[in-house]
Amino acid sequence: MDFMERALSLARLALGDVSPNPAVGAVIVRDGAIIAEGYTQPLGSAHAEVEALRQAGDGARGATMYVTLEPCCHFGRTPPCTEAIIESGIAEVHIATLDPNSEVSGRGKEELERGGIKTVLGEHEEEARQLNEAYIKFITTSLPFVAAKFAISLDGKIATRTGDSRWISGEESRKCVHQLRHEVDAIMVGVNTVLADDPQLTARSEEGQPFERQPLRVIVDSEARTPSTARLFGEPGRTLVATTSAASQAKVREFQEVGAEVLELLSREGQVDLEQLLRELGRREIISVMVEGGSTLFASFFKHGLVDKVIVFIAPIIIGGRGAKTAVAGEGAERIAHALRLSRVKVERFGDDAMISGYVGG
């Protein structure tokens, strides 16, 4: 068995429940068999290493631990994991990747070694870093990781000429989207998407039930055109309307009366300043944002270089029509050489749909 792979699968169970902490998995092995395992618990509770050590008890002495992220060595919301590991008598620790947090960043590994523990670094490092890509960006920049997600037809349309878009993608793709929503801290849409689709913007289980923890819903609405009767205001979880001084005070009060928070930001080219919005979300420890539309908002995010990852579901249908919308508006690239090219591209299948994901930049 690949013990680090098992630790990574445990870490994935924590995604969506532990932000702004990283999602970490740990297994403890003796004589070639797993005797204990754990993953990060909700904020303020035990880290993965401590969960596994509690389960192992005295069996940890002389055993080997596999952990997906360097154990912390500082006091935060919980005591240092390195102390617990050293005191347990663990003999060897395999670490997938170092923690870029300046309070750790190699110090956890060094502390374990000073405590007489052998360390091994780098098993499944790329997978471990991808699993915590949002945490890594946030802890090094104080900004959230931004994923742009949309569904298109084979001919690149996101709706028909009449604006109908339900449903371009199939059921399996939509289930995947709800899992992606569950794993992020915020979902963001522009006002035109709310006006056209009246979405709920919730994260739901395969049975259709809302998850207990819902991502923050963010509506980018520079002139406060969102109707206070929009369905998303009645859904579980919190809603933030990001607007500008162009919003009337009457509409601001309407939003507040239906339970939404209103955040007035600077205007940039007549629209909400997205960089200021992301800085504010980062200040609130929102470490991941999934932007779901529409085409004008996508155009602004791409134009200003604010997207980290792109996730596109492609359905095997042809919509056609000059008036049918494409996913990204704006002027677009003048030449193919200037087009945005993704790296580390992955293709997956969900029913009859294909999902293509990749990263902007290196």
Q: Is 49 a catalytic residue?
A: yes
Burial grade of 283 (CB within 10 A; 0-12, 13-18, 19 or more): exposed
Q: DSSP of 316-362, one letter per residue?
A: S-----TTSPBS--SS--SSGGGS--EEEEEEEEETTEEEEEEEE--
Q: DSSP of 252-273, one letter per residue?
A: HHHHHHTT-EEEE--EETTEE-
Q: DSSP of 196-240, one letter per residue?
A: HH------B-TTSPBPSS-PEEEEE-TT--S-TT-GGGGSSS-EE
Measured CA to CA, the distance from residue 141 to residue 277 in angstroms comes to 15
Catalytic residue among 37, 49, 51, 70: 49
What are residue 66's DSSP bridge partners? 27, 94
Residue (of 179, 178, 184) closest to 200 by Cα position = 178
Measured CA to CA, the distance from residue 202 to residue 187 in angstroms comes to 9
Tokens describing residue 62: 């002389």
Quote the Cα angle for 181-185-187, to 5°. Answer: 55
Q: Are 12 and 131 in contact (CB under 8 A)?
A: yes
Tokens describing residue 232: 């998303």
Tokens describing residue 177: 């989207």
Q: Are 208 and 171 in contact (CB under 8 A)?
A: no
As a whole number of angstroms, the longest Cα–Cα distance in the chain is 69
Q: Which residues are designated catalytic?
A: 49
